[in-house]
Amino acid sequence: MPYDFDTLLDRAGTNSIKWQFRKTPDGMQFWDQTNAHHGEQRVLPMWVADMDFQVAPEIADAIQKRAAHAVFGYAQPGPGYREAIQGWQQRRNDWSIELEWINPVPGIVPAMNLFVKRFTEPGDGVLIQRPVYHPFTFAAEYNNRRVVNSALAWDGERYVMDYEDLARKASDPDVKVALLCNPHNPVGRVWSREELNQYAAICAEHDVMVFADEVHSDLIMPGNRFVAYGTVENAWQKPFLVGTAPSKTFNLAGLKTGNMIIPDADVRAEFATEQRAAGLLGINPFGVVALEAAYNQCEPWLTEAIAYIAANMRHLEARILAELPKLKIIQAEGTYLAWIDMRALGLNGEQIESLLLDKARLFLDEGHIFGPEGEGYARINVACSRTLLDEAIDRLVRVIR
């Protein structure tokens, strides 16, 4: 069945963070700069990681059916919910999980914060690998823990883990936990089995518990293969937690429905205690039906969505290479986020932001928010219509060339 990814959707009036808000030091601020009535001056928002695509028809049907009931009391997931997740992990990732390992959460970011609070003390170290999705840093800092960064290295072709540095950092006795981004946002790496085995061995040797954030695991570009942390031999040397969700995969992030997969019963109980203490119980009833429809019925939609995104990635790379050779696109193996190296422009972070927002009227994520290693880079979301992507590239060309 052909799905429509080409139509330029108007997201005004939907409370979309991406389209109707901007980040300020005081939090999210409502703005209308993306509205079409601004003409040439309207801002194109290509920052927040959600898709400018409608969801699969089966998901929309399931939500509409549930909405028609018009009673939205407290909800809990029934057995079908966990079975849908179990089936998905088995089919897609060859990972056999038990139903009781699944612990629903209102998001992987809240779950990461609960994890840090439960399994570390104030002042302890949290091992992360920058440049990385900024809430990894916040999970440490907001909870008065210490960021211990083992920065990713560039091997001339792609970002890699620096195992020597990782082992040195993990050997700090105050480092109790590590946050793994698999696949890695924003650099787009899909970690191989060998890489994950080495990472897991280092963490196990130094008694560091791993939280593997796998929210981008279903968005893998052709020619790459996702390896679930739970299928990695060395991961089992120590209890671990995996965060997974249909939020990125099926564009359901606003439904606030994610899941922690926690094989170890004691760790599961501890995590649940922290979750209860935060009062984060129950589930969004729309999230339940959406997840079941997504995992049980929507693989054909996902296959086409990935093909469209992959074509957008190739198109972006080809146009940048031909028209803006000073910029470099880091090949994304997974995610719908492209990481652009703008360092050859010789501008600092503030100047890049001004070039993009004030001159090009493009709202991208500035690289430095992912850590100082991201200075001089920007992240662009290509899960949008080709028309929008082309308009964004045209604008870049206009202000840079």
Ligand X SMILES: Cc1ncc(COP(=O)(O)O)c(C=O)c1O
Which residue number, 35 or 103, has a Cβ lying nearer to ligand X?
103
Out of 101, 133, 240, 271, name the contact with ligand X by CB under 6 A: 133
How many residues bind ligand X (CB under 6 A)? The answer is 14
Per-residue contact flags (x/-) with ligand X for residues 77 to 116, judged by CB under 6 A: ------------------------------xxx-------
**Which residues, numbered 237-256, are part of the site for ligand X (CB under 6 A)?**
245, 247, 253
Out of 181, 261, 320, 327, name the contact with ligand X by CB under 6 A: 181
Which residue number, 253 or 294, has a Cβ lying nearer to ligand X?
253
Which residue number, 47 or 119, has a Cβ lying nearer to ligand X?
47
Contacts of residue 161, Cβ cutoff 8 Å, sequence gap at least 6: 129, 150, 152, 153, 191, 195, 198, 199
Which residue number, 81 or 133, has a Cβ lying nearer to ligand X?
133
Out of 58, 124, 213, 365, name the contact with ligand X by CB under 6 A: 213
Which residue number, 95 or 133, has a Cβ lying nearer to ligand X?
133
Q: How many CA atoms lie within 13 A of 161 on its CB side?
A: 27
Which residue number, 185 or 234, has a Cβ lying nearer to ligand X?
185
Which residue number, 183 or 206, has a Cβ lying nearer to ligand X?
183
CB of 185 to ligand X, least distance (A): 4
49 binds ligand X (CB under 6 A): yes
Residue nearest to ligand X (CB): 107
CB of 345 to ligand X, least distance (A): 26
**Candidate segments 210-218, 364-372, 379-387, 389-397, binder of ligand X by CB under 6 A:** 210-218
Per-residue contact flags (x/-) with ligand X for residues 3 to 42, judged by CB under 6 A: ----------------------------------------
Which residue number, 57 or 135, has a Cβ lying nearer to ligand X?
135
258 binds ligand X (CB under 6 A): yes
185 binds ligand X (CB under 6 A): yes
Site residues (CB under 6 A) for ligand X? 49, 107-109, 133, 181, 185, 213, 215-216, 245, 247, 253, 258
